[in-house]
């Protein structure tokens, strides 16, 4: 796996209050873990292990990894995304993920909300 030298250290954990949601956390230099975002699945049909694999790939990418696990064969779909415009002084970035199976229109799959992400 390849890493970017200036990578930050992110991790994830299941959200303690929301089902089908994960906290995205930043590991501080002193070892503390601080939540900086969340990933919430909107597609109730998506299996938990697949959602977790997507979150792992996302965290790997946030950490500068480029060799991610391809999921297209497993999902039989493409994952698209849209970064929502944000007000100038709002530190949160929202990214909406969509799945496209090749049949009909794409469907909302998940929402990622992060603070301090320059998307």
User: Does residue 31 contact residue 1 with C-beta atoms inside 8 Å?
Assistant: no
What residue spans define the domains of the chain?
10-115
DSSP per residue over 47-64, as a string?
Answer: -HHHHHHHHHHHHHHHTT
Could you give the dihedral angle defined by the CA atoms of residues 38, 39, 43 and 46, in that order, rounded to the nearest 10 degrees?
-130
pTM of the model: 0.83
Which runs of consecutive H residues, i.e. helices, occur in the chain?
48-62, 72-75
Q: How many CB atoms lie within 10 A of CB 1?
A: 9
pLDDT above 60 for 2: no
**What is the rounded CA–CA span in Å between residue 80 and residue 99?**
6
Model confidence pLDDT, tens digit, residues 18-74: 989 999 999 988 889 999 999 999 999 999 999 999 999 999 999 999 999 888 777
**What is the rounded CA–CA span in Å between residue 49 and residue 97?**
17
Give the model's pLDDT for residue 5. 44
pLDDT tier at 86 (50, 70, 90 boundaries)? confident
Percent of the chain past pLDDT 90, that is, above it, reads 63
């Amino acid at each position: 796996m390849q890493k970017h030298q200036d990578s930050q250290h992110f991790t994830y954990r299941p959200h303690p209050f929301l089902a089908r949601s994960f906290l995205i956390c930043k590991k501080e230099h002193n070892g503390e873990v601080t939540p900086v975002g969340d990933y919430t699945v909107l597609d109730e049909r998506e299996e938990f292990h697949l959602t977790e694999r997507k979150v792992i790939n996302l965290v790997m990418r946030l950490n500068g990894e480029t060799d991610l696990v391809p999921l297209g064969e497993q999902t039989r779909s493409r994952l698209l995304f849209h970064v929502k415009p944000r007000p100038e002084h709002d530190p949160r970035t929202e990214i909406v993920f969509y799945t496209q199976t090749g049949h009909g229109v794409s469907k909302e799959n998940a929402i990622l909300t992060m603070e301090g992400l320059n998307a």
